[in-house]
Structure 1
Amino acid sequence: MMVIATLRQKLFELFRADRAPAGYRPGVTLEHLRRNLGLASFERLSATHAQVGVGDVALEIVERTESQLLMHLVMTEFVLRVPASTGGTGRFEVHHGGAVRRSGLRVRRRSGNQALARELQACLLADAALFQALMPRDFKRLRIELQGQQWCVRLEHMGGSEVVNRLPAFRRYIALSPAQRSHLLTALVGLQRVLSNL
């Protein structure tokens, strides 16, 4: 019985979610992203947290890790906070529709009002500039949350991330191309515009 408890404790320590993966270099991916974005307003708040401005839109960028078996990913998450015109709570995920080809955007309600999810989807589809910016985007996650009087958008883009493998050993930064950068910034500005009117 003691052996099982010790083994369980060792496994827990090995796979702890709050432990940084071996080989993780805090801030390195964020620095690569800073160069890719090329924004004059990039301000570091800590090794893994920065703030940028795109016109009148203020964004936070947070570097986070995701461990897998013999590798880890370093993702950069763009966080946008927008005052809400009405209060409430809700969590929604936005993803591309279509099994083979992208056929539009879908809003999946995780919690909150279903009518608000339908209204959010209608607004995303009605804003042509935002729709055109989101369709070619390769984002890992796009979450939109309403908490009280504030919307919070969290967008994890595939570009601006790093893959670190231990066996075989390699490290690769996935850069943002100029076209991806343009679509990403347009999408974030468009989300600010849509959510401020919702």
Structure 2
Amino acid sequence: MNRVTLITAMSALRQKLSELFSAQRAPAGYQPGRTLGQLQRNLGLARFEQVSPTLAHAVLDDDSLHLEIRERTESQLLMHLVMTEFSLRLPASAEGAARFELHHGGAIRRTGICCRQRAGEGALLGQLQARLQQDSALHEALMPLDFKRLHIELRAQQWHVRLEHMGGSEVVNRMPAFRRYIALSREQRDVLLAALLGLQRVLRTL
């Protein structure tokens, strides 16, 4: 096992341990599945199946996109957040391991989409950046998209995309007690699905 593969495996292990630890210590007042139920209404997809309290599978009506949607909690002082993470898994022709992070450029106004490599094969960064720039429809969807995190990872000859949107989430406060669901608007829903379709299209060419 080379150094890059070892680092990637250790990173994946840390992520899984973190998710396991979070699942075992759910925040007080957390209601698994509540946020997914709200999100289902926002998405308005006929094919949406909740397979566990915190996990759902969704498919676009034309069968062009298959999604895994997961609830993720984050504890803070006297409150917790429930976020929804949209995931894609695609077969990859490229070998090796790599991890990328996409974010908006610009301090105040969005000036573009930046791609940063966190680990893995350096040659893939240039290829991914070139595909992102060439796909104008994907760029047009990503620019107005209010995403918090967008990670792309290559491992075991599969592309893994994880996108966490700012909408489709819930804020739960203990003192004073309140719950607030942040809806996924119709406009954000449309650019979210367009962005995921675009990422699927781009990664299939790498």
Query: How high is the TM-score relative to the length of structure 2?
Result: 0.86
Which whole-Å deviations, capped at 9, do the CAs of 1:130-176 have from their partners, x for residues lacking one? 10001111111000000021000000000100011112211100001
Contact preservation (8 Å) 1:107, 1:118: no
Match of 1:139 in 2: 147
Q: Helix, strand or coil for the counterpart of 1:110?
A: strand
Could you tell me which runs of 5 or more consecutive residues in structure 1 were left unpaired when the two chains were aligned. Answer: 1-15
Do structure 1's residue 96 and structure 2's residue 104 form an aligned pair?
yes
Work out which of the residue numbers 169, 189, 194 in structure 1 matches 2:197: 189
Which whole-Å deviations, capped at 9, do the CAs of 1:9-36 have from their partners, x for residues lacking one? xxxxxxx644000110000000000010
Match of 1:130 in 2: 138
Could you tell me which runs of 5 or more consecutive residues in structure 2 were left unpaired when the two chains were aligned. Answer: 1-20
Contact preservation (8 Å) 1:77, 1:156: yes
Q: In 2, Cα distance between the equivalents of 1:175 and 1:195?
A: 29
RMSD: 1.1
> Which of the two has greater strand per residue?
1
Aligned residues, how many? Answer: 183
Match of 1:34 in 2: 40
Q: In 2, Cα distance between the equivalents of 1:34 and 1:165?
A: 23
Q: In 1, Cα distance between the equivalents of 2:129 and 2:146?
A: 19
Q: In 1, Cα distance between the equivalents of 2:138 and 2:181?
A: 27
Match of 1:64 in 2: 72
Letter in 2 for 1:156: E
Bigger CA radius of gyration: 1
Q: Is the deviation greater in 175-184 or in 110-119?
A: 110-119
Offset, 1:118 = 2.2
Q: Percent identity?
A: 67
Letter in 2 for 1:157: H
Q: In 1, Cα distance between the equivalents of 2:94 and 2:77?
A: 43
Following superposition, which runs of at least 4 residues in structure 1 exceed 4 angstroms of deviation? none
Q: Helix, strand or coil for the counterpart of 2:32?
A: coil
Letter in 1 for 2:34: V
Which whole-Å deviations, capped at 9, do the CAs of 1:69-92 have from their partners, x for residues lacking one? 111110000000111112110111
Letter in 1 for 2:59: G
Offset, 1:114 = 2.1
Q: How does 1:1-198 map to 2 (within 5 A)?
A: 17=22, 18-54=24-60, 55-198=63-206
